[in-house]
Every structure is written in C-alpha cells, then in structure tokens.
Amino acid sequence: MIKGIIFDFDGLIFDTETHQYHILQEMFSEYGSELPLGLWQNEVGTDGGFSPFHYMEQQIGKPVEHALLNRQYEEKFLSVLSKEKPRDGVVEYLQMAKKLDLKVGLASSSSYRWVSGHLKNLELFDHFHCIRTSDHVEKVKPDPALYLQAAEGLELSPEACLVFEDSAHGATAAKRAGMSCVVVPNKITRTMEFGPVEHRLDSMADMPLRDLLDFVAAIKVKP
C-alpha cells in the first residue's frame, strides 16, 4: 500500500530544464554552434560534470570567456524562472496528498539551497515532510541513495513509496531503490528512453492522484 509520495524537483515540479536548454541553445547559436538535445539529456537528473561552454569551445575551435558566458546564462535563467509557475497538476497532487494523509518527500540531484529557495518562492515548501538533495548524499541519481534517504526521512519502507520523475536517471534511481515510479516527462525529457516504470503521464493534470494510486497499487513493475 502506498503511504507516501516522493517528488523530483527540476523538470517535474518546476520546469527549469526546458528553459535551461533553450537559453543554452540561444547562446550556442550566437557563437555559430549547437548543443545537441541528446547530449544535454545525458545530464538531466544527474551531475555528470558536463560543461556546456567547454563543449562550445570544442565545437567552434577557439576559447570563450567562461566567466562572462556563465554570468549571462545565470542572469537569463533566473529572469525566466522568476516568472515560472509549477507544472500543471502539481499543486492539486500536493493538496490531495494532504487530504489522503500521505507523507510527502522530495529527492533532488540539485542543491538544498536551490530546491528550498524555489519551493519557498512557489509557496510549496510547507507541503514537504522531508527534502533530500545533493547536499545529503555522496552520489546523486541514478544512484538510489537520494530516494532511500527520503523514504527513511518519511519513516516509510521503499515499497510504501511512489516516486514522480521526469528523467531517465531519476526513474532508474527510484526503481533501484525498490519504489514504484510514475514518469511525467517535460518537453526536454519526453523523447528519453525510460526503463520499466509503473505509469507515464504527459501531465499530472491528466489523472487525479487518487485514481493513480489505485492504478499503481494494482501493479508492481520490476526494475
């Protein structure tokens, strides 16, 4: 029986990933280059150490000013995010989770400062009983540590948790942790190949949480 739900953050609750890629693409275009979507998807949901501006240098065959480009990128990114709202259905899922007396956690490969700051700006922070981020583990997704720690923080077994993810790395982490997983891809991750999961939604608005819980309770997909 599902007693708790655990959310990813970037790209799932708050679609940072789509904006992030589009801003980088615009910057690459200004230098006569391109950042392939498939290459960027490898970094979504994890921290592989990929440096987009080092990649840009390789593509254009000359050095670039990293400090300047990073500053321009951050300014554009934060400006766009200041106008962004939660993805469709997220708030309704959190509200229904409270009505159903479910414990609610969050597990993100980003930093606690990043996640908590945006949750507070979105007025969602108080919905979560446990938040685990890259600050709490040695390895981020696809390693299962984040999800295992989130379950422990909720005082639940992995089997009692349902994870919501938007990336392949995140879904892999959830299944490795022994949890059920529903993927809700965004515009950047919808073409990714996901492993075995319990269900896939285009949006949380497409299926009420209560109905989804009933559906997931009836099946269990092995990793």
The confidence band for 47, taking pLDDT boundaries of 50, 70 and 90, is confident
Reported confidence tier of residue 48, pLDDT bands at 50, 70, 90: confident
Range name among 29-38, 39-48, 128-137, 177-186 with the lowest pLDDT average: 39-48
> Judging by beta carbons within 10 Å of its beta carbon (0-12, 13-18, 19+), is residue 92 exposed, middle or buried?
middle
Provide the pLDDT confidence category of residue 101 given band limits of 50, 70 and 90: very high
Single out the residue of 10, 216, 185, 222 nearest to residue 108, CA to CA. 10
pLDDT at 222: 67
> For position 154, what pLDDT does the model report?
98
Please say if 10 is a catalytic residue: yes
Q: Is the pLDDT of residue 223 over 70?
A: no
CA dihedral sign, ordered 100, 114, 108, 39: positive
Q: Which helix (H) or strand (E) holds 37?
A: helix 37-41
Query: Given a cut of 80, is residue 149 above it in pLDDT?
Result: yes
Q: Is 206 labeled as catalytic in the residue annotation?
A: no
pLDDT on residue 50: 85
**Cis omega before residue 223 (within 30°)?**
no
From the list 8, 15, 143, 166, the catalytic residue is 8
Q: What does pTM read for this prediction?
A: 0.91
Tokens 């392939």 sit on residue: 36
Determine the Cα–Cα distance for residues 191 and 178; give it in Å rounded to an integer.
25
87 vs 84: CA distance, rounded Å:
9
